[in-house]
Each structure stands twice: as structure tokens, then as C-alpha cells.
Homo-oligomer: A and B are copies of this chain.
């Protein structure tokens, strides 16, 4: 059994980690921490889990965490992890960080979007945890920068086709739509029921911090710098994310070619499902799962490709992919703990 700790267990991504790890057949969830709820039972904060999770939140203490766990998940706001991680790595722990702090190999790119980085020396060791793209590097890693939800939904459909050379990298546009849980559990008018319900709007138009993260990985795929136009929107649903990507085709490519390329790339990857042509991916169909559903359509008259993806922002977009990374890092089956049968509706 792998002993695991979740640091920051009471935010939505942290709570989702608790859910998955509590049901993981190869994991002993040994410790959960929360600054805000230290000393409280987890099921007092998330009563759904009463009877299944019998843990109390503790205040974070690096020594205790290292004593308790082999794998440590950090589900904290960015900036905190770069302060915590060096000690954990020095103690020989495996770390999956769900913040942006270890997603960039290039400290300058991180610092342009966030703030000065205080653990730059670890960046070369860290691996971007997009499981289906960096599998081998993840297997060998001790430190994972777990991808953002938006980048996961944009990169999984795009990377195979960019690598095939069929897309004009200057033409990339991603129009993403996220459920409200993406904004976290903190209080703000933005997440007030009456302000979100029956509302639909874009936000941080072409200036969201997930765009540089996408650009880095897209650039890695094509070998030259890439700039994607990225516009996120807020959907009145709790979980789920749907992304529509637009890209000009370099040549005449048919729907069948696209399908073959994606199928080949993801042939052995259990969490990517390529949808039939007449059924675009639906956030409802991946709710609560670690799947990424992908669809597509060539707009022949424009010689433009439309790529579509759906994930659960809290699972494949956060906690699920984090556990998938742990599975890969520790030699477990990639799907361990992540295959509960989805709800039909």
C-alpha cells in the first residue's frame, strides 16, 4: 500500500483527491491537512463522505507529512507549493503539485504569468503531468506539475494533430467553457448562486494565466514558439469543462484522417475516448470521471479543423489526473482507483 497525504484537502480539488484516494485499492490515505479547518473532521466539511472517510484535518507540518506518507499531493494556491516542495523532495518523497508552481520548465515564463519563483532549481527535475503526452517522463519523475484544467482540455485534442504537422500553429484558438467549481470554494460574487445561475459569460478574455501554460506545451510539440488565443467562459453547472479548438489546416485533411491520427496517438490510453462523428463530447458524459472525450469536424469550405473536448475539471482537470500521475510514478496500473462506473445521467 502506498501511503499518501493531501495537503490542502478542503478545497474542491483537495476534497476530490480525498474521494479518489479513499477509494483507491492501493493507497492508504494517511494524512489530510487544512489551514482553515485544522482539527475538524473531514465529513463535517463534506458530509457526503460521512461513514467513508474517518479523518481529521491537521495543520500542515512537513516533518509529519514526510513521516506519514510516501506520496504527497499539494492542492494549494500557487506560491505556497514552491515554499513547501524543496523539503519534501529533499526527504525523498514523491510530490504531485496541483498548482502552477511546477508546470513550467522555463522560470521566466512562470514569472511572467505569476510571481518570482523561489525554487527554480527544481524546475528541471519537475515534469509536466499531462499523462497521455509525457508518460515516460512521468514514470521516472519525483515531482509533477499537474496540468491546469483548461490546458488539459486544450492540449489533449491538439497535441497529436500538431505533431502530425497538419495545423497552422499561428491559427490556434481555444474557446473553453468551465463549470463553477473551477473557481474554487472561496467566497466571491462570481460564485454566488444568483449571479451565476442563468448566466453565461466570458472572463479574462485572451489574458487568462492558463494560456502561457498551453503555449509552452504547444511549443514543445511543434518545436517553435506558439501563441494560442484563449477565451474561457463560465457555465452554470457545478463540474465539467468543454473546449472548442479552431485551427487552420495546412493541407486538405479529411475527417477520417483526423480520426486515424487521434486513434493512433491514444491507442493505448484508457482515459481518452474518441467520440463518434455524430456525437460531440458532452461535459455530462465525463462528469465524475477521469475521461477526456474528444470529437472533431473539418469545416471543408474554410479548410479549418474544429476540435472538441470534454473533461471533468475536478477529475481529469485536477485530482484524477494527479492520481493518474501517482499511478504512473509508482508503477501501479494507470487506471487504479480511477475506474468507477460513471453515472448514466
Residues of A within 8 A of B (CB): 12, 15-16, 18-20, 22-23, 46-53, 170, 173, 175, 177, 179-181, 185, 187-189, 191-203, 205-207, 227, 229, 231, 233, 235-240, 242, 244, 246, 270, 273, 275, 279-289, 291, 293, 295, 297-299, 301-302, 304, 306, 308, 310, 339-345
Contacts and interface: CB of A to CB of B under 8 A. Distances in A.
Given A46-B344, A238-B193, A280 B203 contact: yes
Contacts of A284: 48, 195, 198-201
Contacts of A343: 16, 19, 48, 288
A135 to B, nearest CB: 19
Instruction: Please state the number of chain copies in the assembly.
Output: 4
A181 B82 CA distance: 40
Given A47-B285, A175-B175, A200-B284, 7 more contacts: A52-B341, A53-B341, A181-B345, A187-B187, A200-B235, A201-B282, A205-B308
Nearest to A182: B194
5 contacts: A15-B344, A185-B192, A192-B192, A199-B240, A202-B308
Contacts of A185: 189, 192, 194
A242 B283 CA distance: 18
A41 to B, nearest CB: 10
B12 A227 contact: no
B23 A341 contact: yes
Contacts of A282: 47, 199-201
A154 B236 CA distance: 22
Give the residue among A49, A282, A340, A343 with the most B Cβ atoms within 10 A. Answer: A343
A286 B342 contact: no
Nearest to A337: B341
A283 B308 CA distance: 23
A185 B46 CA distance: 24
